[in-house]
Amino acid sequence: MNEKQTLLNKITHHQARIAIIGLGYVGLPLAVAFAKNGFQIIGIDIDERKVDAINRGESYISDITSEELTKWTVNAPGAGRIVATTDYVSLTTADVAIICVPTPLNKTRDPDVRFLIAAGEAVAQHLHPGMLVVLESTTYPGTTEELLLPMLEQGGSKEQPCKVGKNFFLAFSPERIDPGRTDWTVENTPKVVGGFTPNCQDVATTLYQQAVERVVPVSSPAAAEMTKLLENTFRAVNIAMVNEVALMCDKLGLDVWEIIEAAATKPYGFMKFTPGPGVGGHCIPLDPHYLSWKLKTLNYNARFIQLAGEINSEMPRYWVEKVQDALNDVEKPVKGSRILVLGVAYKKDIDDVRESPALDIIALLFEKGADIRYHDPHVATFAYNGLQMISEPDLDVAIAEADCVVIATDHSSYNWKQIADNAALLVDTRHVL
């Protein structure tokens, strides 16, 4: 029996050991999804605090409760399907390695693939015949083939050199996690999979079919990489478009929300997007720049992406101007005024502040001399651009003491009528009122 068939047998009988590298918003839900289906999971992360928390059955992300995690950790009697470690040596016993590490942008908005390279090198060091490697980290088209594959093919031994599609298998399958959602999860969100060879495609597709309701095969890792970037570039461009429409309506004295709701009555040819303070999170503000960077290497200027980025990044400044105008109307300067920002997470009902436009609003108001405070039921503290802040302990008192309240994140737990009734001045970036 060859390596492919042996691995397929292990996967279909749920006997394959799956190593998941990176235990954040992507890796941990994926680990739980496979554990639910009977697989033994080795979770690998360089953060000892995450490793210790998982082994105690304590979740640190909102999408997985500690109660749910405890069912699958070593602390749960009779379960123990998820074991976390910082040691890459455990890859030697793994049949599958799924890489879910962060791929941020650096200060020049170019891809920062340090974590990916470190994970790839570790996998290559412990690569063995009959192993499947899948990259889920969002990155530019060509990463799997140009960056990860050469590292892996240097693995193995002289007696058993590693040959992709022959004795090890490689694929890219983009993560589609939307933190805070309960309607679309790892299990029921269709999974795009691009294998490097037909054998790679067969193995990777079979793996995800064990835990995901629908698998969507594409022709190559690069096609799967591009699929992910198209999804989020589509959203970034359309959000930028509707943000600019909001600016236009402001100039024309029109209510942008009335316009959007009227346009949304058209049963075809229109998809509703809504304006706000900008874009945040681990995908939309970042992913289009991977594509833009790649195209620059091919002497192509991705104009839509660049323009969308400019518009969305300027929205916090637009809302700061609205705060300034509102204070001017009641004869108060921004400098010295106490301004309370409600919500700093990048979207409602989560604790993630990555790329949150609320942080930019706070930083800009601070630069103008405002006495800036914030409240967020999900984010107790944050540090950003030299600012270190703690959420106000008493919301009612904070509202009563504020000269202006800025709604930056529309958390469901807020009583908007009560806030509107008690705020001296209110600027609503989310149209919740």
Residue range 126-179, pLDDT digits in tens = 999 999 999 999 999 999 999 999 999 987 666 677 899 999 999 999 999 988
Instruction: Point out the residues that are catalytic.
Output: 283
pLDDT above 60: residue 77: no
The rounded mean pLDDT for the chain is 94
Q: Is it the case that residue 76 has pLDDT exceeding 70?
A: no
Q: pLDDT (tens digit, 9 = 90+) per residue, 178-209?
A: 888 889 999 999 999 999 999 999 999 999 99
* Tens digits of residue pLDDT in 307-355: 999 999 999 999 999 999 999 999 999 999 999 999 999 999 999 999 9
Class of domain 3-219: alpha beta
Tens-place pLDDT, residues 254-266: 999 999 999 999 9
Residue partners of 280: CB distance under 8 A and separation at least 6: 346, 347, 353, 354, 355, 356, 357, 358
Domain with CATH 3.40.50.720 in the chain: 3-219, 287-428
Residue 79, pLDDT > 80, answer no
Amino acid found at 91? L
Report the C-alpha gap between 233 and 248 in whole angstroms.
Answer: 22
Q: What is the mean pLDDT of residues 358-368?
A: 97
What pLDDT does residue 156 have? 64
Residues 6+ apart with CB under 8 A from 112: 103, 104, 105, 106
287-428 is classed CATH 3.40.50.720: yes
Q: How many Å apart are CA 381 and CA 391, to the nearest integer? A: 6
Question: Angle at the Cα of 425 (from 419 to 430), degrees rounded to 5?
Answer: 60
The DSSP string of 232-300 is: HHHHHHHHHHHHHHHHHHHHHT--HHHHHHHHTT-SSS-------S---SSSTTTHHHHHHHHHHHTT-
d(CA 331, CA 338): 14
What whole-number distance in Å separates Cα of residue 308 and Cα of residue 241?
A: 7
H or E stretch covering 98: strand 96-99
Token representation of residue 369: 């001399």
Q: What is the largest CA-CA distance in the chain?
A: 82
Written as one string, the DSSP assignment of 81-95 is -EEEES-GGGGGG-S
Helix (H) or strand (E) holding 370: none
Q: Which two tokens mark 221?
A: 């890792």
% residues pLDDT > 90 (the chain) = 89
pLDDT at 93 over 90: yes
